[in-house]
Amino acid sequence: MSPRNVTVLDYGSGNIRSAVRALEHAGASVTLSAKPDDVLNADGLVVPGVGAFAAVMQGLKDVDAIRMIGRRVAGGRPVLGICVGLQVLFDEGVEHGVRTKGMGEWPGVVERLAADVVPHMGWNTVTPPEGSALFEGIEDQRFYFVHSYGVQKWDFDVTQPAMRPPQVTWADHGGPFIAAVENGALAATQFHPEKSGDAGAALLNNWLKTLG
């Protein structure tokens, strides 16, 4: 099987090179780009995100990525968000009392974690749902997190009987928060698979398998 073509979205977010290297290590042919042809036509698109919710949203707007991500999702073309790349897929983020509108792909608000120690930095276990494609074979592994904010409630209404509800993976740091979501072509992780050693490599490999 020829390598899957993956575009890592280049919009000014930090730490993109490690995502590129991890995907290449997992067997993908990787392009770092924000050009519409590369973003729209790749087998898979990875949206990394580091830093503040509002800054990431602005960076995405600056390269017209929100429209392009929406087009990919509407067409069933796979997208994987990482860290703040997960957070911006929700309705809104609240940082230092400032509310910023997100992409609204999923309902929910990104808020400061309720833990005594923030940021949540380091390795943690996750609880994936039955039948998760991302976590197949790595359900009991630990993943690397670096974040102060997260989505702590999930309230998703299935309006069509035939619709399969998103699969949500949880983790805990001072209370439960969303560690990953799998929703058809759209998936995202709050942790950094590119910093999560063998477990992260296996997760990226699982995601690449879904691009077929």
Token pair 């860290």: residue: 83
Are residues 79 and 73 in contact, defined by beta-carbon separation less than 8 angstroms? yes
Q: Which of 83, 92, 120, 182 is catalytic?
A: 83
Q: Give the relative orientation of helices 16-25 and 197-209 as an angle to the nearest 10 degrees.
A: 70
Are residues 59 and 166 in contact, defined by beta-carbon separation less than 8 angstroms? no
| 194 belongs to the catalytic site | yes
| 83 belongs to the catalytic site | yes
Residues 158, 44, 22, 179, Cα dihedral to 10°: -10
| 192 belongs to the catalytic site | yes
E-strand spans in the chain? Answer: 5-9, 29-33, 44-49, 79-83, 90-95, 98-101, 106-112, 120-125, 142-147, 149-151, 167-172, 176-183, 186-189
Q: Which of 120, 147, 173, 192 is catalytic?
A: 192
Catalytic residue positions? 83, 192, 194
